[in-house]
Structure formats: C-alpha cells, structure tokens
C-alpha cells in the first residue's frame, strides 16, 4: 500500500515525505506540478516510489489506477499565493480539486488529511474553528474556507478519517522556492546575511513599529501533528495548527538575527539593542496590503489538544535557531 502526498515537492509536502522516509516509509506517491522546475530540489534527498503530475493524478484516480493500493492521502497541494487575483484558477486548483480527491478517498475508505489555512479568519481577533469567526480577506482564504465548509457538511456521514489543519505562519526547511511567499524567517535570514539588517513594517492597525503579531509555527511541529493524526485514524475534524502563541515581528527578527550571531560566536542582543545598532529598521506599510493584512493571529489550540495531541510546540527561539542552522548548512 502507498501513501499519497500531494504538493510533495512543495514546502510542507516535502517535509512530510522526508519524515515518512525517516519512519522507513518508501512507498510514497509524490503528486505535484513542476511548472516551476526548481522545486524538484526539495525531493532530491527523499525516497518516493512514483512521481505523478497533479492533473494526471486525478485522471488516473478516475480510471481506477490506484484503487486498493492507497493507505492514506496527505493533501498539501494548493496555490498558496495570497496575492493571486485569478479567482477561477484558485477555486479550480484549491477547492474543486480537493473536493474530487476527498470523494475518492471517501468512496475507498482512505484517510484524508489536508492543509487548510488560518487565512479563513481574515481580520478577526478570535481564532477558533467556528463559523462565526471566519471571514477571509482574499480569494486564497475563501478557497480554503469553502472547502472547510464542504468538509463540515460531510463529517457526520464520513466513511474514513477526514482531518483538516488550519496552518498559521509556518516557517522552516525546504521553503526556498517560494520566493516572496517564503516565511519572514527566510527573508530575515537572507536580509541579515546580505545587508546586516532586517526590515520590518512600521506600525499599523493600532500596533507599534514591528509590534504586529503572528502565530509563527515551525514546519517540524506541522509535520509531527500530521503524522500523529495519521497514526490515529479515529480522529476527524478541522483543527488549528499553530504554536498557540502570538509573537511580534520584532521578536521574530531578533530570534533570526541572534541565531545568525550565534553561528558567528557573537552574543545575543535584545530587540531594543538590535534596533539601536541598526540591525532592525522599519519601512513604510505597503498600501497594497491595506485591508488585506492580519495584524495579529494566535491559534486557539483547544480543539487540537482535546483531540489528543499533547506534544509541546517549539518556541520561536528554538524553531528559528534550528532553521537558521539548516539554512546556513544549505546556503548553496
């Protein structure tokens, strides 16, 4: 039996493939779309049984090629560009594709674990998995929200596990191909290494300079949660997946800079000391993000914990230090 990972050459998908390999799992069907060929690098050190283009995969599913040969589907594939304006493409790629794959899994009693997004909460201040708090600000968030709604309607009559994870701000290894959509940790690392400073937005939405807050979660924890649910097929539902703690951009910048300094044998500095030294500076808030920016996010993990996931999440300092070490070791 195989495990299917969609978006397998992407950020979270590739980390899942690598983690499955670490468990001794080699019978993996990697599904992705390599129009951007550089993503292949994420899989060079991974072992997969077969690679299938995402469009070809649905055709082969419909033809019965994978019937009775799939143990689980980890569906990470999606267009994650929050600035994408082609709504038809976003809905076809993120919503309709997911619906088709979900029905195939249900028809064949296959566990289906999928990537949702904290973007479904929009500009709200309560991040709990309830309809009253969901109001996406862009078409990406809406595509994720609409599929979550579809799942909710199906949960009561499901034939196999269905678990969706609302990822908050994920950072970590194998995201380099994302460019401007890569995490702030990735951008901060490269800014500091090339310019000796990190640039943050000036204050907005009632927050001071660099004091906007996000729930930054390490991809290591994202992978651990997915695999823990894979091991517990009795768990179904929609769950927030973040660190459970809001962190300022100032703190994230300091964590990144201090991790870089540690590699050079230098002592850690406070955010105020880094600001005074010119290592943190502030730039004007982009007008293009007005009305589309979440100034503060913090995952309510109550439902995840109630489902049985008990492991602690990495702090920003812990997760970023590991990530910076990986970035430094893979600089080429």
The span from the CA of 302 to the CA of 124, in Å, is 18
The verdict on whether 178 is a catalytic residue reads yes
Check 140, 171, 192, 323 and give the catalytic one. Answer: 140
Strands (E), the chain: 2-6, 28-32, 50-53, 70-75, 112-117, 162-167, 169-171, 198-201, 213-214, 216-218, 237-241, 247-248, 280-283
**Number of CB atoms found within 10 A of residue 95's CB:** 19
As a whole number of angstroms, the distance between CA 66 and CA 64 comes to 6
Structure tokens at 183: 């995490």
Which are the contacts of 195, defined by CB distance < 8 A and separation ≥ 6?
Answer: none
Region of 290 please: left (phi>0), alpha (psi -120 to 50) or beta.
Answer: beta
332/204 Cα distance (integer angstroms): 36
CA distance 11 to 15: 7
As a whole number of angstroms, the distance between CA 34 and CA 255 comes to 33
The dihedral built from the CA positions of residue 16, 22, 23 and 27, taken in this order, carries a sign that is positive
Between CA 32 and CA 54 the distance in angstroms is: 5
Instruction: Indicate if 54 belongs to the active site.
Output: no
- Point out the catalytic residue in the list 18, 178, 224, 292: 178
Say how far residue 35 (Cα) sits from the centre of its chain.
21
* CA-to-CA dists, residue 55 to 30, 34, 59, 118, 150, angstroms: 13, 11, 7, 26, 22
- β-partners of residue 72 are 3
Whose structure tokens read 């969901």?
Answer: 134
Residues assigned a catalytic role? 140, 178
């Amino acid at each position: 039996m195989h495990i299917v990972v969609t978006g397998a050459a992407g950020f979270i998908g590739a980390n899942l493939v690598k983690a499955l390999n670490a468990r001794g799992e080699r019978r993996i069907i990697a599904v992705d779309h390599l129009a951007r060929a550089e993503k292949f690098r994420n899989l060079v050190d991974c072992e997969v049984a077969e690679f299938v283009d995402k469009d070809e995969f649905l055709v082969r599913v419909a033809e019965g090629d994978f019937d009775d040969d799939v143990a689980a589907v980890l569906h990470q594939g999606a267009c994650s560009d929050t600035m994408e304006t082609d709504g038809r493409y976003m809905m076809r790629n993120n919503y309709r594709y997911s619906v088709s794959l979900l029905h195939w899994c249900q028809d064949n009693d296959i566990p289906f674990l999928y990537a949702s997004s904290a973007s479904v909460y929009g500009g709200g201040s309560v991040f709990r998995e309830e309809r009253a708090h969901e109001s996406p600000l862009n078409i990406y968030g809406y595509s994720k929200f609409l599929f979550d709604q579809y799942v909710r309607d199906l949960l009561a009559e499901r034939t196999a596990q269905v678990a969706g994870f609302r990822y908050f701000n994920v950072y970590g290894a194998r995201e380099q191909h994302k460019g401007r959509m890569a995490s702030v940790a990735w951008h901060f690392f490269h800014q500091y290494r090339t310019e000796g400073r990190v640039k943050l937005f000036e204050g907005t939405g009632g927050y001071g300079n660099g004091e906007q807050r996000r729930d930054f979660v390490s991809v290591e924890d994202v992978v651990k949660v997915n695999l823990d649910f894979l091991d517990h097929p009795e768990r179904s539902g929609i769950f927030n997946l973040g660190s459970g703690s809001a962190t300022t951009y100032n703190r994230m910048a300091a964590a990144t800079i201090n991790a870089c300094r540690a590699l050079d044998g230098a002592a850690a500095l406070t955010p105020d000391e880094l600001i005074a030294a010119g290592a943190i500076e502030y730039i004007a808030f982009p007008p293009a993000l007005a009305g589309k920016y979440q100034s503060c996010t913090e995952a309510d993990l109550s439902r995840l914990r109630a489902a049985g996931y008990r492991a602690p999440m990495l702090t920003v300092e812990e997760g970023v230090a590991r990530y910076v070490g990986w970035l430094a070791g893979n600089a080429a």
